[in-house]
Amino acid sequence: MAPMPTYSYACTACDHAFDAVQSIHDAALTECPECTAPVRKRFGAVGVTFKGSGFYRTDSRSESKSTSSAS
């Protein structure tokens, strides 16, 4: 069985924050477990690491184009 994603939620009334492990096909949670008020999904920043070549301007720059001769 594949690991399921963890979603973060925050209560709109009491600011209680909690995580829930849910399938991607499950409906989003709607109720705070502490006070039963509505909750909202929280989204955090995602770290991205680029490995390999081709991600920088200098990776594909041709040496012949870097210098031009004036005629």
Helix spans in 1-71 (H): 63-66
Within 10 A of 10 (CB to CB), how many other CB atoms are there? 14
What per-residue confidence (pLDDT) applies to 21?
95
Q: Could you read off the pLDDT of 37-70 as tens digits, one per residue?
A: 999 999 988 778 777 777 776 666 666 555 555 5
User: Phi-psi bin for 9: left (phi > 0), alpha (psi -120 to 50), beta?
Assistant: beta
**What is d(CA 50, CA 52) in angstroms, rounded to the nearest whole number?**
7
Confidence (pLDDT) at 25: 92
pTM: 0.60
Q: Domain 1-43 falls in which CATH fold?
A: Rubrerythrin, domain 2 (2.20.28)
Q: What's the confidence (pLDDT) of residue 47?
A: 78
User: Mean pLDDT over all residues of the chain?
Assistant: 83
Contact 71, 65 (CB under 8 A): no
